[in-house]
Structure 1
Amino acid sequence: MSSEHRTSSPRWRVTPSVPVAAVVFVVYVVVVVGLMKASGVGYEHFFDSADSTLRSAVLPLGAGAVWLTAFLVWARWDHVFRDARRLPTGWFLWLLPAVMVVIAILHLVGLEWDRFSPGHVLAVLAASVLVGYTEETLFRGVVLRSLRQGTRSEGMAVLWTTLWFGGFHLTNLLLDEPGAVLQVAFAALTGTGLYLARRGTGTIVAAMALHGLWDFSSFLVGVHEPDGGAATAANLIVPLVYVLAGVTLVVLVVRERRRPAREAITA
């Protein structure tokens, strides 16, 4: 019996695979999107107030977090939250996450904070933290871990994770959000930066933090559009993120086409 079989077989209740990840994904969508729809709050008004944020985002995402956590505790998958190996991440691959942080900070600096109540800000913060936890656990966690099984290259694992994350935003059509089609492309591209945050640090916590920060600034800006130098600078840089993300994704897919995605199994 191989050492890999001896160390991995007793650990997993179910082997990481794309079909299993698909089931986890479908249940997550049914739970979260179903509760968002049942909240009665229109997608464009999710973050208008503390009450709407709690009903339409915090509670559904909290239920999604419970589902994902329960699955991982039961499944006992390894390397979901921390990589088994550190992949090389040069300065160019750090550039995209760094620019995303700068844009988020500029948006937050430019906000007129007196237009928000403390309760409203805390509710949006809670929603952002939950988005970071749930979507990163699902995509840069469960999905990426599943795609790293088998004979795929790391480049293909990154590409399919990115496309899956982008496609997930089509579910916003169920919430009567006509802009969901555009969100697919934008989310897929920003997902590249989230992958790089995990890759560069070796832990998914970095991707969760970046995701939460990005969405926290985006949600607040969507409620009260800032008007000032910081906001203007952020808006000018935003297109750079998507261009840089597209270039970076191509570089990753090409450069990593021969690197096996399968992670080493540790005892």
Structure 2
Amino acid sequence: MTGPAAAASVRVAPRVWRGVLALLLYLAVFYGVWIFNGIDYPRIGDSADTLWKWYVAPLAAGTVVLVIVVSIYGWWRPALFEKRRRVPPWVWILPGALAVIAILNLIIGDSSRVTPTMWMLLVTGSLLVGFNEEMATRGQLIVALRSRFGELGVWFFSCLLFGLLHLPNTLFGTGLLGLFQVVLTFCAGSVFYLLRRVSGTLIAAMLLHALWDFSTFAANSGLPGAWDLPIGLAGVIVAILIVRREGRVDRAA
């Protein structure tokens, strides 16, 4: 839903700057907690203490910000539920592949170091990161972007900002490897975008995002690192093909 009809269904009219502002407020709080707690990115999953300080606490603070801002905007429904026509069912293959890899990683990867408390914190933090990052970039931001751009621009800018969201990690311990993380998350964002479109709800993307992060923190068999980029690149190609085809159909209509 775009244009006047979309604006009439929400409390505050969607504008790109409002979506970007919500994202920046979230990032300011999240990274503020990281800095306050002395983040060392490569050690986030080392113990229950590091998971609490560097995973759960900043995400919980960020959740509060997003809930407040999206509630003020009144964007919950368009952020959570897709109004555009759904994409072809075969698109389920890409998010399905990510889900299978995440589950296989949990089954065959080594998680012996994870204590019961760490499991609890991993579940909590992963659910929060799924909600936060999806709501910030493929939820409320998509609502904002659709007030100004066609769907190709909506896909591109939502994925771009999702990738750039991870850029500060280069300052917190990833170094130049963080630049690759930006590319990787841009590509993965395309799969989450397609999942929103094919399922009709952002909730599906939130759950897959949570599963993926949970799997990569809890165990590592090497599968996520080997397959996330190829699947993500496939997501980019499929997203471009689908939204360009939709644009041609819309123009013809």
One fold, TM greater than 0.5?
A: yes
- Alpha-carbon distance change, 41 to 171 in structure 1, aligned in 2, over 3 angstroms: closer
Maintained 8 Å contact 2:52/2:121: yes
Q: Name 1:263's counterpart in structure 2.
A: none
Note the 1:5-44 alignment, pairs <5 A. Answer: 8-9=7-8, 11-12=10-11, 14-44=12-42
Q: Check if 1:100 corresponds to 2:98.
A: yes
Q: CA RMSD in A?
A: 2.2
Q: Check if 1:240 corresponds to 2:230.
A: yes
Q: For residues 118-143 of structure 1, give each alpha carbon's deviation from its aligned partner in whole angstroms, at most 9, with x where no partner exists.
A: 11111111111110000011111111
Note the 1:191-230 alignment, pairs <5 A. Answer: 191-221=189-219, 225-226=220-221
Q: Check if 1:252 corresponds to 2:252.
A: no
Q: For residues 34-92 of structure 1, give each alpha carbon's deviation from its aligned partner in whole angstroms, at most 9, with x where no partner exists.
A: 1012112300111111111011110110010010001111111241111224323331x
Q: Name 2:79's counterpart in structure 1.
A: 80
Q: TM-score, normalised by structure 1?
A: 0.84
What is the rounded CA distance, in whole Å, between the counterparts of 1:54 and 1:217 in structure 2? 17
What is the rounded CA distance, in whole Å, between the counterparts of 2:229 and 2:182 in structure 1? 16
Which structure has the greater CA radius of gyration? 1
What is the rounded CA distance, in whole Å, between the counterparts of 2:233 and 2:19 in structure 1? 29
Amino acid at match of 2:97: V
Q: Percent identity?
A: 31
The match for 2:150 among 153, 158, 175 is 153
Q: Name 2:130's counterpart in structure 1.
A: 132
Q: Name 2:165's counterpart in structure 1.
A: 168
Count of residues paired in the alignment: 246
Q: Name 1:183's counterpart in structure 2.
A: 181
CA offset at residue 239 of structure 1? 4.5
Residue ranges of structure 2 left out of the alignment (5+ in a row)? none
Maintained 8 Å contact 1:156/1:253: no
Maintained 8 Å contact 2:194/2:239: no
CA offset at residue 235 of structure 1? 5.4
What is the rounded CA distance, in whole Å, between the counterparts of 1:6 and 1:157 in structure 2? 18
Maintained 8 Å contact 2:111/2:218: no
- Alpha-carbon distance change, 135 to 239 in structure 1, aligned in 2, over 3 angstroms: closer
CA offset at residue 258 of structure 1? 3.9
Maintained 8 Å contact 1:141/1:204: yes
What is the rounded CA distance, in whole Å, between the counterparts of 1:70 and 1:109 in structure 2? 38
Which structure's residues are more often helix, by fraction?
A: 2
Amino acid at match of 1:71: V
What is the rounded CA distance, in whole Å, between the counterparts of 1:126 and 1:107 in structure 2? 19
Maintained 8 Å contact 1:153/1:258: no
